[in-house]
């Protein structure tokens, strides 16, 4: 369980990363933390990649339909400009951002901003996804959340793609992906000839 560090007047910044497979509750946890910051009267800005329009163009929305207002951005450098003077910055679907996101998050934390990032740690092939590995390495706090395997009911760590498409980035929901444990994921990939 993540315990928020005490917020002091020294304006100490840090980076928190919430990662896991699809349907594990990453965005839900991001929204929960951001809403707590809002309740604490912190200035908060939330960003998501411009390409993510699955549920809404301007809001971050969890699979449970919880939502929070956000600003879609085309490049991570825009976050620095739009978050100037903000105490808490939330970033959803970090895996879809460019690699500059790592430097952006470090700059924000170094200037005293609490940065909360949510994203897939692995793509559908089980490989590290976009800037997430680098973000995990510089994070002050990491929370890995888990889904439930739809095949066997164990803890799921993989996002198994159920449709034929080899693009790394493919937006989709339950019609295209399902959470799977390591064993069921490997068995499914072997059936698809990808293992």
Element (H, E) at 94: none
Distance CA 29, CA 19 (A): 10
Catalytic residue set: 93
Q: How far apart are the first and last CA of the chain?
A: 34
Strand ranges for 93-169 from DSSP E:
114-120, 141-145, 147-148, 155-156, 158-161
Distance of CA 186 to the CA centre of its chain: 24
DSSP state string for 117-153: EEEESB-TTSSB-TTHHHHHHH-SEEEEE-EE-TTTS
């Amino acid at each position: 369980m993540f315990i928020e560090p005490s917020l002091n007047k020294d304006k100490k910044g840090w980076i928190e990363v919430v990662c896991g497979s699809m349907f594990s509750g990453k965005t839900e946890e991001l929204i929960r933390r951001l809403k707590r910051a809002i309740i604490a009267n912190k200035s908060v800005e939330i960003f998501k990649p411009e390409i993510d329009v699955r549920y809404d163009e301007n809001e971050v929305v969890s699979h449970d339909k919880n939502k929070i207002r956000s600003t879609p951005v085309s490049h991570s450098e825009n976050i620095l400009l739009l978050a100037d003077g903000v105490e808490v910055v939330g970033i959803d679907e970090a895996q879809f951002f460019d690699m500059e996101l790592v430097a952006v998050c470090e700059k924000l934390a170094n200037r005293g901003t609490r940065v909360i990032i949510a994203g897939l740690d692995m793509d559908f092939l089980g490989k590290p996804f976009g800037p997430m590995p680098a973000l995990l390495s510089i994070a002050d706090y990491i929370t890995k959340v888990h889904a439930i395997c739809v095949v066997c009911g164990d803890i799921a760590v993989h996002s198994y793609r159920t449709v034929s498409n080899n693009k790394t980035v493919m937006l989709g929901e339950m019609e295209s992906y399902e959470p799977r444990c390591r064993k069921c994921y490997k068995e499914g990939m072997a059936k698809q000839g990808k293992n």
